[in-house]
Amino acid sequence: MIAALRRTPAALMVVTLAVGLAACWSTGTLFGVLAPLGALFLYARGYWLLPLWIGLLIAFAASALVALLYPGAIRDAALSLGAFVAVAACIGLLLWSDPSRSGRWPAAAQRREPGQQDGLGPVSEHSAIHPDDRPAIAQAAAYAFWTGVPQVTSYRLRQPDGSYHWTELRAEPGYGVSVDVDAMVSRPDDRWTVAESLGATVEAVKAAKVIESLHGKAWAFDAMGKFTYVTPAAQVAIDMALEDLNRRLGEREFIDGGEAGWMRGVHPDDVDRAASTLRHCLKTGEPWNIEYRMLRATGQYVWHRISARPTRDDEGRITGWFGTSIDIDVYKKTEAALRAREQHLEQLIDTVPAMIWSMTGAGHPVYLNRRMMEVTGATTETVTAPDGSLTLKKMIHPDFLDLAERTFAKSVMTGVPYAIKYLQRRADGSYRWTETRAEALRDEAGKIIRWYGVSVDIHDLITTQTELHLRKQELTRLVDLVPSFLWRLTPAGAPNFFNRRFIDFLGLDEGNHEQSQTEQYAAALKAALHPDDAGRVWAELHDCLNSGRPFAMRYRLRRHDGVYRWMDGRAEPLLDEDGSIIQWHGLSHDIDDQLRVEDALRESEQSLRQLVETLPALIYCAAPNGDPIYRSEKLREFLGFGLGDKDEDGSTRLAGTLEAIIHPDDLPDVKERYGRSLATGSPYAMKHRLRRADGAFRWVETRTAPMRNVEGEIVQWNGICFEIEDQVRAQEALTLTQERLARAAQAASLAELSASIAHEVNQPLAAVVANSHACQRWLTSDPPNLERAQKTVERIIRDANSAADVVGRVRALFRQTVEARSLCQLDTILYEARDLMSEEATRRRIRIEINVEAGLPPLALDRIQIQQVLVNLIRNGMEAMESAQRGALHIQTMRSGAFVRTEVRDMGEGIGAPDKVFEPFFSTKSNGMGMGLAISRTIVEAHGGRLWAENNEDGGATFLFTLPVEAKADHDR
Amino acid sequence: MIMDRSLSRRPIPLPVQRQAEAKQPLVIIVDDDASVQEALSELMLSAGFEAVSFSSTQALLETDALDWPGCLILDVRMPGSSGLDLQRHLTTTGNPKPIIFLTGHGDIPMTVQAMKAGAVDFLTKPVRDQTLLDAVNAAIGLDAARRAEAAKIKGYVERLQTLTPREREIMHEVTRGRLNKQIAFDLGISEVTVKLHRGNLMRKMEVASIGELIRAWEALPVRMRETNAA
């Protein structure tokens, strides 16, 4: 009835309207009038359906809700509405299953809704299929539905009478067709029975028409192969009429090997086979069954399965042929695709670099892929024990055999997946690490039907892993052994790794598992950081974490024993490819000892610097090329400028500085010597004048020495500059004083000498006199004391001799100086003597004139003694002219034979007795000793010369002395 | 004072055994020249003087020779401290020993300095015997007179110590030329008592007249006079 309704929408409308009115009438409410809405399903198409369904669902839900919430009349109304909605939904459901309407889903076979769990729609239809074919049909339907690949399959469909007929199902997206081929194409048992019966009773065309009624397409040809009938629709489909099909295309008839028109419609690759088999069949009467590609009017070749059967007359002669062609293009292509896929899969399984196998649920091996056989050399036979179960002995290293068998047995018994790593024996007898995994495939009841396993060669992996493990261990040891503290932070700054040393340093207790490692580390770090440093360290760390710049700081960390140690902490971010920070790797170095040393060094350097700065000296340092690189505070103060103040373009700092500070007179010398020192590396020392800040030049002594490194190269020049201005001045004053003193001493020496000699002589003389008096008294006393007088006389003799000795000693004094003589120019001595006396001469207003003959030979002289003689003579002359208070003293030196003669001529009053003046203690002067001339004569005579005096004719006296040119031995000795 | 000093010095080894005899004048010769020392000593001996010679002033100061009465013959120029230095030293220590200078060659400034400082004579070597002996005689005489004066003052001082305070007071008043009754009035005692005291003090001071008492008073060192006045 439903099918009838489906075909007539108008009738359906009427029925539904009637049902709606009946409901309306029965419930007594107006809701019934909504019944025709259900009819809308009849016309609803595509997207209309969904809103309709939703509307109904909402209505039903609302009515159910209302019925639950409100009692009484409202509940009744709601219930009635719900009932109505339910009815409408039922109708909708009924109609909606019509595939022509349900455009939303791809067409599924058999007007059934595919995709359901059982894969075949309504149970009634499902049950119509022969039980043996159900899984295949379900799979095909599901496959077609989910993949969109057309499926052609055959199955047996139960007929109303309970028998099964073969049906071929073709499912494609968009349509599906099911043809009952049982009558014609049957399985070996009953195939062709119908057709044969037909062929035996009716002629071919009739048979063809029967087929046509069944299949919609059929044809017939006579015994000679000429078409006698072709379904008109088929003629259209292949765009060939009977004439076209039968047209002879050559000399011979088809049966004789000629070509017929229909052959044009066959694919060139298939045409020869088709023609030859047909000819064979025509001749023998065997049924013609062939598959070839037929040209459609659309220009495409489509696979067809052609079946033809002969009709025979009563005598058994073939009267004609009838047949049909079934479009098996999709089937054929699917089959090809499947074959290709299967081949591909097989290739895949064989070529996949893994060993794949399977076994039954009981553990009997059934399949080994090629690779497995190749690799292990095993075949299904070798791995199968006599009782059919798996034996592993030949495949597994003895060490693992026990484990493998236990695991295998356990898996087979309990069904847990099998997984094991072991050393697998290979075809060449070697063992390699292999991992084998197997999973069980279960049927619907959960029974294991198959084990599928895969063995993967993990030898390299294991080896690498082992190596990696070793390397990791090594690395860990390294990280722990490295004498620094290594740590790692998350990008957020939480520590997630400390190396062993760090943990030991902090004294972390790792046994504490209540906290996570990160929390432990963070807490420990927080506690260990010195409170004074904590603020800046966290701030810096936070800043670094935010900005991503490397972290570097020094801070104190508390060691486990409570001692704070200085650390040098550094951390750098580890970046991934897009530059975001993955981790921070940090290193802390214990620099406490280093810092102490540095502190000590700094202090030492500080004190040294203070020392240098406070030393009362000017200190500087220069680069190996002489450019100043350091000046002490005192030097900067002295110069009034710093290092860089005299930098000018075009000249080096050295040159600029030197020109600025060195006295111009000293500059060339300083430059030359400093340059030489720089070039040779020899120490430099020099006295020069240095310009002070106020512009005054001060004498300084500069000393510079090179500082060399281990290789002996000059690293730096260190210099010191003493201010020696006062020293120089003092030296100058001293020199002046000494000169003056020497002059005075020389001038005074003879007078002093005289006084000394006088004292020496006077003492014994005084004693002699006193003793003489005493002696006289002793003799004149009454009675005369002769004894004492005698004693006194002895003393007189002794003292008188003593006086004589003094005189002898004086003479000896001037004789014993031959060793002191040296060759010198007399004029030089003369000028020196004049210089000595010049002051006195000026005071006395006396001019000293010297006239020296040129070319005098040098003489062997004691220059001091001769100088004394000259000084003495000059003074005598000046004293002689004292009364005049003016005048000149002429000194003349000339060669005179073997002697050099010197004259000292005064303009005084002359000498009374020129010979007497040379006697000791002769003096014309009131305060004179009378020794000067005597000594002078002694000196001159000691030199082998002569000293005498003459009175000038024009007044005054001349003292003359000669000295031998050839030094000769002292004749007195 | 002089006595005190002599205690610390070693006695001089005199050639003649006359140390025990009371204060014979002693001529002390200081000259660095040994022959001159000998000659002068000989001359002094021949003239009948006691003489002792030293080669330097230091050697002299180590002995008690200076405590003896007599005079000094000093060489001006000597190694170490000179004769003039010794003269200065003696002046500052209050020793009035008369000095005769003897020099090889002296000049006028040297002579003036020595004479101003109280030298008896300044002679040059070689010296005539009579000149030297005259000078020695004069010096010894001067020394004797000084010593006698000193002894007298010492006697006054010793006697003054025996006076009672009242007697000293009255002695002071008397030497000022005040009359007995004035003194009695000032001191609030009777004139008879003043006379009694006056008689006692005259006797104790061993003076026969007021004039002698006044001289004794004047001879007393200033210090003592002032303390008594108070």
- From the list A766, A785, A792, the residue facing B126 with the nearest CB is A766
- From the list B36, B39, B128, the residue facing A774 with the nearest CB is B39
Kindly report which listed range (A22-31, A246-255, B130-139, B198-207) carries the lowest average pLDDT score. A22-31
Q: Is A777 close to B43, i.e. CB distance below 8 A?
A: yes
Between CA A50 and CA A56, with CA A53 as vertex, the angle to 5 degrees is 150
Say what percent of chain A tops pLDDT 70.
79
What value does the mean pLDDT take over residues B75-93?
Answer: 84
The DSSP secondary-structure symbol of A820 reads G
| Residue A875: pLDDT band with limits 50, 70, 90 | confident
In this predicted structure, what is the pLDDT of residue A191? 37
pLDDT tens readout for residues A590-602? 888 888 888 888 8
Kindly report which listed range (A495-504, A776-785, A964-973) carries the lowest average pLDDT score. A964-973
| DSSP codes joined into one string, chain B | -HHHHHHTSBPP--SSS-TTSTT--EEEEE-S-HHHHHHHHHHHHHTT-EEEEESSHHHHHTBSGGGSSEEEEEESS-SSS-HHHHHHHHHHHT----EEEEESS--HHHHHHHHHTT-SEEEESS--HHHHHHHHHHHHHHHHHHHHHHHHHHHHHHHHHHS-HHHHHHHHHHHTT--HHHHHHHHTS-HHHHHHHHHHHHHHTT-SSHHHHHHHHHHS-HHHHHHHH-
User: Is B106 within 8 Å of chain A by CB?
Assistant: no
Between CA A690 and CA A702, with CA A696 as vertex, the angle to 5 degrees is 15
Note whether A854 and A939 are same-domain residues. Answer: yes
User: Is B82 within 8 Å of chain A by CB?
Assistant: no
In chain B, what residues touch A763 (CB-CB under 8 Å)? Answer: 33, 35-36, 104, 125
Residue A307 inside a domain? The answer is yes
Residue A6 has pLDDT above 60, yes or no: no
Give the closest-approach CA distance of B132 to chain A in angstroms: 10
Residue A175: strand pairing partners: A172
**CATH code, A803:** 1.10.287
In this predicted structure, what is the pLDDT of residue A902? 92
Whole-angstrom Cα distance, residue A964 to residue A943?
8
Note whether A217 and A167 are same-domain residues. Answer: no
> SS3 for A514?
coil
Give the closest-approach CA distance of A925 to chain B in angstroms: 16
Which parts of A345-447 are beta strand (E)?
Answer: 355-360, 365-368, 418-425, 431-442
**Nearest alpha-carbon partner for A37 in A75, A103, A72, A87:** A87
Whole-angstrom Cα distance, residue A256 to residue A952?
192
Note whether A443 and A491 are same-domain residues. Answer: no
In this predicted structure, what is the pLDDT of residue B135? 92
- From the list A755, A758, A795, the residue facing B38 with the nearest CB is A795
In chain B, what residues touch A778 (CB-CB under 8 Å)? Answer: 46
Note whether A454 and A562 are same-domain residues. Answer: no
- Give me the sheet containing A551-558, strands edge to edge: A495-498, A485-489, A581-590, A564-575, A551-558
Residue of B nearest to A782 (CA): B46
Residue A189 inside a domain? The answer is no
Whole-angstrom Cα distance, residue B45 to residue B47?
5
In this predicted structure, what is the pLDDT of residue A4? 53
Note whether A330 and A368 are same-domain residues. Answer: no
Note whether A164 and A18 are same-domain residues. Answer: yes
Number of domains in chain A: 7
| Residue A537: pLDDT band with limits 50, 70, 90 | confident
In this predicted structure, what is the pLDDT of residue A123? 37
Residue A178 inside a domain? The answer is no
Say what percent of chain A tops pLDDT 90.
2
Specify whether the CB–CB gap between A506 and A517 falls below 8 A. Answer: no
Note whether A9 and A137 are same-domain residues. Answer: yes
Note whether A621 and A742 are same-domain residues. Answer: no
User: Is A526 within 8 Å of chain B by CB?
Assistant: no
- Beta strands A888-896 and A847-852 are parallel
Residue A137 has pLDDT above 80, yes or no: no
In chain B, what residues touch A760 (CB-CB under 8 Å)? Answer: none
Residue A708: count of CB within 10 angstroms of its CB:
13
In this predicted structure, what is the pLDDT of residue A743? 58
Residue A601 inside a domain? The answer is no
- Tracing tokens 């000892």 back to the chain, one arrives at A593
Instruction: Name the residue type at position A255.
Output: I
Residue A564 inside a domain? The answer is yes
Q: Which of A309, A335, A361 is the last residue of a domain?
A: A335
- Beta strands A495-498 and A418-425 are unpaired
**CATH code, A825:** 3.30.565.10
**Which is more confidently placed, A860 or A142?**
A860
**Nearest alpha-carbon partner for B64 in B21, B25, B11, B4:** B11
What value does the mean pLDDT take over residues B10-17?
Answer: 56
Give the closest-approach CA distance of A808 to chain B in angstroms: 19
User: Is A20 within 8 Å of chain B by CB?
Assistant: no
Q: Is A755 close to B129, i.e. CB distance below 8 A?
A: no
Note whether A831 and A800 are same-domain residues. Answer: no
From residue A50, give the alpha-carbon distance in Å to each of A106, A547, A719, B78: 16, 56, 105, 156
Specify whether the CB–CB gap between A943 and A969 falls below 8 A. Answer: no
In whole numbers, what is the pLDDT of chain B averaged over residues?
82
Q: Is A773 close to B104, i.e. CB distance below 8 A?
A: no
Residue A612 has pLDDT above 70, yes or no: yes
Residue A620: count of CB within 10 angstroms of its CB:
21
User: Is A758 within 8 Å of chain B by CB?
Assistant: yes
**Nearest alpha-carbon partner for A693 in A653, A630, A642, A629:** A642
The DSSP secondary-structure symbol of A924 reads S
| Residue A579: pLDDT band with limits 50, 70, 90 | confident
The two structure tokens encoding residue B127: 């010296």
Q: Which of A719, A754, A777 is the last residue of a domain?
A: A719
Helices B34-46 and A786-815, axial angle in degrees (round to 10): 160
**Which is more confidently placed, A463 or B78?**
A463
In chain A, what residues touch B43 (CB-CB under 8 Å)? Answer: 770-771, 773-774, 777
In sequence order, the 6+-apart residues with CB closer than 8 A to the CB of A568 are A552, A553, A554, A588, A589, A591
Q: How many CB pairs under 8 A join A and B?
A: 83
Residue A27 inside a domain? The answer is yes
- Mutate which of B16, B35, B49, B132 to disrupt the A interface (most A C-beta within 10 Å)? B35
Note whether A501 and A549 are same-domain residues. Answer: yes
Q: Which helix (DSSP H) or strand (DSSP E) does residue A830 occupy? A: helix A826-843
Exposure string (b/e) for A6-28, b if CB count within 10 Å is 16 or more? beeeeebbeebeebbeebbeebe
Residue A900 has pLDDT above 80, yes or no: yes
In this predicted structure, what is the pLDDT of residue A509? 75
Residue A180 has pLDDT above 60, yes or no: no
Q: Is B46 close to A763, i.e. CB distance below 8 A?
A: no
Residue A130 has pLDDT above 50, yes or no: yes
In chain A, what residues touch B53 (CB-CB under 8 Å)? Answer: none
Note whether A848 and A957 are same-domain residues. Answer: yes
Q: Is A767 close to B45, i.e. CB distance below 8 A?
A: no
Note whether A263 and A368 are same-domain residues. Answer: no
**Nearest alpha-carbon partner for A220 in A322, A365, A334:** A322
pLDDT tens readout for residues A214-230? 777 888 887 777 788 88
In this predicted structure, what is the pLDDT of residue A184? 45
**CATH code, A670:** 3.30.450.20
CB contacts under 8 A, A 767-786 vs B, are 767-771, 773-778, 781, 785
In this predicted structure, what is the pLDDT of residue A279? 85
Specify whether the CB–CB gap between B191 and B184 falls below 8 A. Answer: yes
Tell whether the torsion through CA atoms of A680, A683, A685 and A689 is positive or negative: positive
Q: Compute CA A873 distance to the chain's CA centroid, rounded to the nearest angstrom.
A: 99
What value does the mean pLDDT take over residues A356-383?
Answer: 80
Q: Compute CA A67 distance to the chain's CA centroid, rounded to the nearest angstrom.
A: 77
Q: Is the peptide bond before B126 cis (omega within 30 degrees of 0)?
A: yes
Q: Is A758 close to B104, i.e. CB distance below 8 A?
A: yes
Residue A839 has pLDDT above 70, yes or no: yes
| Residue B20: pLDDT band with limits 50, 70, 90 | very low
ipTM of predicted complex: 0.71
User: Is B127 within 8 Å of chain A by CB?
Assistant: yes
Q: Is B46 close to A771, i.e. CB distance below 8 A?
A: no
Q: Is B39 close to A765, i.e. CB distance below 8 A?
A: no
| DSSP codes joined into one string, A945-968 | -EEEEEE-TTSSEEEEEEEESS--
Residue of B nearest to A761 (CA): B104
> SS3 for A862?
coil
In chain A, what residues touch B77 (CB-CB under 8 Å)? Answer: 759
**Nearest alpha-carbon partner for A223 in A281, A266, A291:** A281
Kindly report which listed range (A793-802, A850-859, A922-931) carries the lowest average pLDDT score. A922-931
Range of the domain at A737: 724-814
In this predicted structure, what is the pLDDT of residue A741? 60
> SS3 for A917?
helix
Q: Is A770 close to B129, i.e. CB distance below 8 A?
A: yes
Whole-angstrom Cα distance, residue A866 to residue A943?
9
Residue B91: count of CB within 10 angstroms of its CB:
14
Residue A607 inside a domain? The answer is no
Give the closest-approach CA distance of A922 to chain B in angstroms: 17
What value does the mean pLDDT take over residues A404-421?
Answer: 84
Residue of A nearest to B132 (CA): A770
In chain A, what residues touch B49 (CB-CB under 8 Å)? Answer: none
In this predicted structure, what is the pLDDT of residue A891? 92
Give the closest-approach CA distance of A756 to chain B in angstroms: 10
Residue A902 inside a domain? The answer is yes
**Nearest alpha-carbon partner for A221 in A189, A254, A249:** A254
- Mutate which of B38, B55, B77, B107 to disrupt the A interface (most A C-beta within 10 Å)? B38
Q: Is A768 close to B39, i.e. CB distance below 8 A?
A: yes
Q: Is B42 close to A792, i.e. CB distance below 8 A?
A: yes
User: Is A792 within 8 Å of chain B by CB?
Assistant: yes
Q: Which of A702, A719, A736 is the last residue of a domain?
A: A719
Whole-angstrom Cα distance, residue A324 to residue A290?
11
